[in-house]
């Protein structure tokens, strides 16, 4: 299973706490997926249940699943004042991506070309050459 997490950080301390949760480790991470979460829709306006789009389950699950995480990427949204300072003084890990929270939460942010480009670079497929 691959994870792309989006974390909104209201303070620098909140960011540091969240970064520690997603820090690289030498052991496998497991994701616990309760049945209600698996049966819930993928997103608003699409009634497809999450379990169906995973490609892992043949049939509707009747019990919780614990799945190994193969790859993880995290997009952190920071308030502008924290984003600017963080950008000048920190070096992100390879799995970390950062942006101003205001850009992430603005209306129609999914149409923002810069945001779309950042998310595209965060995709695992960005590591492969396409001819």
Q: Are residues 18 and 77 in the same domain?
A: yes
> Which pLDDT score, from 0 to 100, does residue 87 have?
86
10-20: buried (b, 16+ CB within 10 Å) or exposed (e) per residue? Answer: eeeebbeebbe
Q: Are residues 113 and 49 in the same domain?
A: no
Cα torsion 64, 43, 115, 106: sign: negative
Q: Are residues 20 and 78 in the same domain?
A: yes
Q: Are residues 107 and 130 in the same domain?
A: yes
The residue range of the domain holding 17 is 1-26+73-131
**Model confidence pLDDT, tens digit, residues 88-130:** 888 888 889 999 999 988 999 989 999 999 988 888 777 787 7
- Average pLDDT, integer, range 23-32: 76
**Model confidence pLDDT, tens digit, residues 43-92:** 889 999 999 998 889 999 999 999 888 888 999 999 988 898 888 888 88
Q: Are residues 60 and 4 in the same domain?
A: no
Quote the tokens at residue 65.
């699943």
């Amino acid at each position: 299973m691959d994870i792309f997490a989006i974390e909104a950080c209201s303070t620098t301390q909140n960011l540091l706490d969240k970064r520690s949760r997603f820090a690289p480790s030498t052991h496998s991470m497991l994701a616990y997926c309760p049945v209600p979460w698996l049966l819930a829709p993928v997103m608003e306006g699409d009634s497809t249940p999450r379990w169906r789009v995973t490609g892992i389950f043949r049939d509707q699950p009747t019990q919780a699943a614990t799945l190994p995480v193969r790859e993880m990427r995290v997009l952190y949204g920071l308030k502008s004042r924290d984003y600017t300072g963080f950008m000048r003084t920190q070096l992100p890990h390879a799995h970390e991506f950062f942006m101003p929270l205001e850009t992430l939460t603005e209306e129609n942010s999914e149409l923002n070309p810069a945001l779309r480009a950042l998310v595209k670079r965060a995709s695992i497929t960005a590591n492969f050459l396409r001819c």
